[in-house]
Amino acid sequence: MKKILITLIIIFFSRNNYSFSGDIGIRTGLSFSSFQENTQLIGDLKYLTSLTYGLTFNFIIHKIFILQPEIIYSTKGIIGQSSKEYESDKGVIKLNYIEFPILLKVELIEFKENSFDLFAGPSFGKSLNHSYKYEYNSITNSGVLEFKLDNINEIIETNMNIGIELNYKIFKYLMSLQIKYTKGLNRISNEVGVPAPFRSDYVILKPGVNIDGDNITLIPGIKHKSISITFGVLL
């Protein structure tokens, strides 16, 4: 049965002028990540800027359709800050991921050997490690504390991606500039008992962190969102 199915697929693509020529390349750039809106997130929240990089694969399946799977290392999170007259603090949440986007590109405009593409598709990520870094500074005391978050989901994170890509050829290399928006579809933080309510008069651990003794947990139900701007080259 499998052999018959494979044969039918080959016949279908060959009769419809499909081809499966492929290329491999590298991609690197900047990612600007935050959390999707949550009523428990308070304070002055800012995007976390980080480096992202990895491998990209191009498989031409039709004249204007390209399947582009990628293997990407990324850091997601958020920055929260607060300041008073004589003191200030900053909390940084970082979650490192290995991600596997599967993008379908459609060529919208072609000019000479260049093109402008629209793409969309899912991605699947696995958390490698995660941390919370808290910097505090006042007249009497200052320092840096680092914690490991105790309630990050160990399941595969699922995201949806959409974006645009400009491809242009320089000498024999095909370059690309990609702008991608990613929205998390599942929660990255578990329920851990009943999280302690956030108290602004407590040691301020922002953003979105609960304190229960030595237990540091991310507010349950958090989802990612990010925008990345990357540059790639096919080898």
CATH of the domain at 27: 2.40.160
3 lies in a domain? no
Residue located via tokens 């990613």: 182
Which pLDDT score is estimated for 135?
A: 74
8 Å CB contact between 196 and 208? no
64 lies in a domain? yes
The one-letter amino acid at 162: I
175 lies in a domain? yes
The pairing of strands 142-147 and 48-60 is unpaired
Residue located via tokens 């370059």: 175
Which pLDDT score is estimated for 190?
A: 63
11 lies in a domain? no
Count CB-CB contacts under 10 A for residue 233: 14
Q: Which structural domain range is residue 195 located in? A: 19-234
215 lies in a domain? yes
User: What is the value of pTM for the model shown?
Assistant: 0.78
Tokens of residue 206, six digits: 């922002």
Considering only CA atoms, which of 189, 14, 180 is closest in space to residue 103? 180
Question: What is the distance between the alpha carbons of residues 227 and 181, in angstroms, rounded to a whole number?
Answer: 5
192 lies in a domain? yes
Which pLDDT score is estimated for 215?
A: 52
9 lies in a domain? no
45 lies in a domain? yes
**What tens-digit pLDDT sequence spans the chain (235 residues)?**
545 544 544 444 454 554 445 689 999 999 999 887 665 555 677 889 999 999 999 888 887 899 999 999 999 888 877 666 555 677 788 889 999 999 999 999 988 878 999 999 999 998 888 777 777 676 566 777 776 666 566 668 899 999 999 999 888 888 999 999 999 888 776 654 333 333 233 333 344 455 554 455 666 667 888 999 999 998 8
Q: How many domains does the chain have?
A: 1
Which pLDDT score is estimated for 191?
A: 54
